[in-house]
Amino acid sequence: MVTAAPPLVLPGAPRRRATAVRHLGPNWYASVMGTAIVATAGAGLPDAVQVPGLRTACAAVWALALVLLVLLLGARALHWIHHRDQARAHLLDPAMAPFYGCLAMALLAVGGGAMVVGRDWIGTGPAVVLDTVLFTAGSAAGLAVAVAVPYLMVARHRIEPDQASPVWLLCLVAPMVSAAQGPLLIPHLPAGQGRETLLLGCLAMFGLSLLATLAMLPLILARLIVRGPLPLAQTPALFLVLGPLGQSVTATGAFAGAAAGVVPAPYAHGFDLLALLYGVPVLGFALLWLALAGALTVRARRRGMGFTMTWWAFTFPVGTCVTGAEALARRTGLTALDALATGLYVLLVAAWAVAASRTGRGVVSRELLAAPR
């Protein structure tokens, strides 16, 4: 019986380890974000549409997001340990580098979900501790990415005018997620300057992200108008524009809810005005963009757009519009906003179910873990 000789390994030659994660990029954190927002958005739906078992289901989805976060943190750690060349290539790739913002947003989304629904299972005390850790880490990472990636875009990347993409917003929207999640921790701080500092710090991150988005968005829209639709595989990225829009509406609602007793009365009333007078127009623009992105996605699908990890763009950005509509509905009491939030949530759950099932299938077949073609 003849046996095959083992492959020759030259002395000193590097051995590849953890090959399954070599092409696991930071964009995979979008699956954590998209899963967590299903839980938090579902918990905030109006009472009229709450169904028995919905909150329990939302808690289970949050637990799934937590598990996914832990698994991805471990897998990405292996990626950095064994495949630093690939990790460095991601940072130097203008199409991939902005996805490092997804790490920050995944941490923040899971931490906020702990305060909204996770406390039902783990208790309020552990939820506060978990959210404090994840909010601190996510905010620090988000601020670092908001500086580092634009620096790389200016100093190291070589970008052509027709490469402008909604993906660029991912490195700028993480501070907006911090701004929306931070007020959840304010009631758990001692009364005094700590609460006011956190509230105004969140307001500063709101402004940072909003103004950077307003500077970037015209470039993206101009590219679409001048150069035409995005390539088929990149078309779902159009939904990423909804992220800073919906999350900013959510953030202003959170500010208004937390401001009473934290800042002097005139300023607390100003937060109430901001939530309504800012939230309604921006949500209107978000719905306009949702319609445009949806129409272009249908067009791309008819032309053969297949599944890629960009399909997760259908989840978290739409989820921010759900939470924004919910915040406005609570402030105004309008049934029209209740209906809008409910309809958007149905869309979110459908998009999440499709993206999650296709991702699971791609992981099992290892197609999504293969080198990009």
231-281 pLDDT, tens digit per residue, is: 999 999 999 999 999 999 999 999 999 999 999 989 999 999 999 999 999
Higher-pLDDT residue of 162 and 33 is 33
| Domains, the chain | 22-359 (1.50.10.150)
Q: Rounded CA gap, 191 and 188, in Å?
A: 9
DSSP string covering 331-347: HH--HHHHHHHHHHHHH
For residue 184, give the nearest of 265, 250, 277, 270 by alpha carbon. 250
**In this model, does residue 369 exceed pLDDT 90?**
no
Q: How confident is the model at residue 14 (pLDDT cuts 50, 70, 90)?
A: very low
Q: Rounded CA gap, 89 and 101, in Å?
A: 16
Q: Rounded CA gap, 66 and 337, in Å?
A: 30
AA identity, residue 162: D
pLDDT score of 5: 44
Q: Rounded CA gap, 142 and 71, in Å?
A: 20
Q: Rounded CA gap, 71 and 13, in Å?
A: 30
pLDDT score of 19: 82
**In this model, does residue 15 exceed pLDDT 70?**
no
Beta-carbon count within 10 A of 177 CB = 32
Pull the structure tokens for residue 331. Answer: 């402030």
Q: How confident is the model at residue 329 (pLDDT cuts 50, 70, 90)?
A: very high
Tell me the percentage of the chain whose pLDDT exceeds 70: 95
**In this model, does residue 8 exceed pLDDT 60?**
no
Q: What are the helix (H) ranges across 182-264?
A: 193-227, 242-259
Q: How confident is the model at residue 16 (pLDDT cuts 50, 70, 90)?
A: low
Strands (E), the chain: none
Helical (H) or strand (E) element with 141: helix 124-155
Burial of 18 (0-12, 13-18, 19+ CB in 10 A): middle
Arithmetic mean of pLDDT, 162-170: 91
Specify the range with the lowest mean pLDDT, choosing from 6-10, 104-108, 233-237.
6-10
Task: Identify which of 9-18, 21-30, 133-142 has the greatest average pLDDT.
Answer: 133-142
Given a contact cutoff of 8 angstroms between Cβ atoms, the answer to whether 244 and 173 are in contact is: yes
pLDDT in tens, 173-203: 999 999 999 999 999 999 889 999 999 999 9
pLDDT score of 366: 86
DSSP string covering 50-89: --TTHHHHHHHHHHHHHHHHHHHHHHHHHHHHH-HHHHHH
Q: How confident is the model at residue 310 (pLDDT cuts 50, 70, 90)?
A: very high
Higher-pLDDT residue of 305 and 366 is 305
Cβ-Cβ contacts under 8 Å for 330 (sequence gap 6 or more): 253
Arithmetic mean of pLDDT, 102-131: 96
**In this model, does residue 7 exceed pLDDT 80?**
no
